[in-house]
Amino acid sequence: MTDRSIDTAASAPVWHLGEEEAHDHGASGATILGFWIYLMSDALIFASLFAMFGVVSTSYAGGPTPREIFELPLVALNTAFLLASSITFGAAIPHIEAGRPGPTRVWLAITGLLGAAFVGTELYEFSRLFAEGATPQRSAFLSAFYTLVGTHGAHVTVGLVWIGVMFVQLGQRGLIAENKRRLMCLSMFWHFLDIIWIGVFTFVYLFGVIR
C-alpha cells in the first residue's frame, strides 16, 4: 500500500465525521427555528385570550366579582409551584449539555412533580368555584376566565406528558443528539408557559382583586 492510499484511508473517517456533525447541527438549528415559530403562534393565541378577557373582565351580569371568588394565597402558592419548576428545569440544562442522563432525569422528575402540583391546585380551584356557582355560563367574565386559565392549564398538562415521554426516552436511549434537541425544545416550552402564567397572575388575579 502506498503512502497516498494510507493518507486517504486515514482521512476518510474524519471527512464522514465532519459531514455527520454538520448534518446534526443543521437539523438542530432547523428544529429550534421551527419550535420558535410555533411558540410565536402560541403567543398570538394567548394574546387573543388576554384581549378577550380584558374586554369582558367587568361583565359580571350580576354574578360574583373577582374579589369575591379569588383566593390570592392559593394562587400565589400555585404560582410558586410553576416558578420553582422552571428553576428545577434550568438546573437540568448543564447536565443535558454535559451528557449526564441520570441527573437530568432526577431534575425532570422534580419538575414534573411541581408541574403536577400546579395542575392539581388549579383543578381544585375550579372545583371550588363550581361548587360556589361560579361556572363559565354565569357571566362573560367567568367564561373568559375559564377559557384563558384553562388553556394555560391544558398547555401545562401537555408539558407534563412531554416530560414523561422524555423520561422514558432518556432511560432507553440516553442523551443522544435527538433527545438533547427535544429537551431544549421542552425547556423553551416550559419557560414560555411560566412567562404566560406571570401575565395571568398579574392581569387576571391580582388586578381583579385590587380593582
Indicate if the pLDDT at residue 208 is higher than 60: yes
Domain that holds residue 70: 44-210
Question: For 117-139, what is each residue's pLDDT tens digit?
Answer: 999 999 999 999 999 999 999 99
| pLDDT band at 110; cut points 50, 70, 90 | very high
Which of 182, 184, 188 lies closest to 165 in space, CA to CA? 182
Positive or negative: CA dihedral 177, 179, 181, 183 = negative
Question: For 5-46, what is each residue's pLDDT tens digit?
Answer: 444 444 433 434 344 444 455 567 788 899 999 999 999 999
Assigned domain for 16 exists: no
Assigned domain for 25 exists: no
* Mean pLDDT for the stretch of residues 72-95: 97
Count of Cβ atoms closer than 10 Å to residue 206 Cβ: 16
* Angstrom distance (rounded) from CA 203 to CA 207: 5
What distances in angstroms separate CA 45 from CA 50, 118, 155, 199, one per listed residue? 9, 21, 12, 14
Assigned domain for 6 exists: no
Indicate if the pLDDT at residue 182 is higher than 70: yes
Which of 146, 168, 156 lies closest to 196 in space, CA to CA? 156
Domain with 200 in it: what CATH number?
1.20.120.80
Assigned domain for 3 exists: no
Assigned domain for 51 exists: yes
Assigned domain for 98 exists: yes
Please tell me the total count of domains within the chain: 1
Assigned domain for 30 exists: no
Assigned domain for 50 exists: yes
Q: Which pLDDT score, from 0 to 100, does residue 28 have?
A: 72
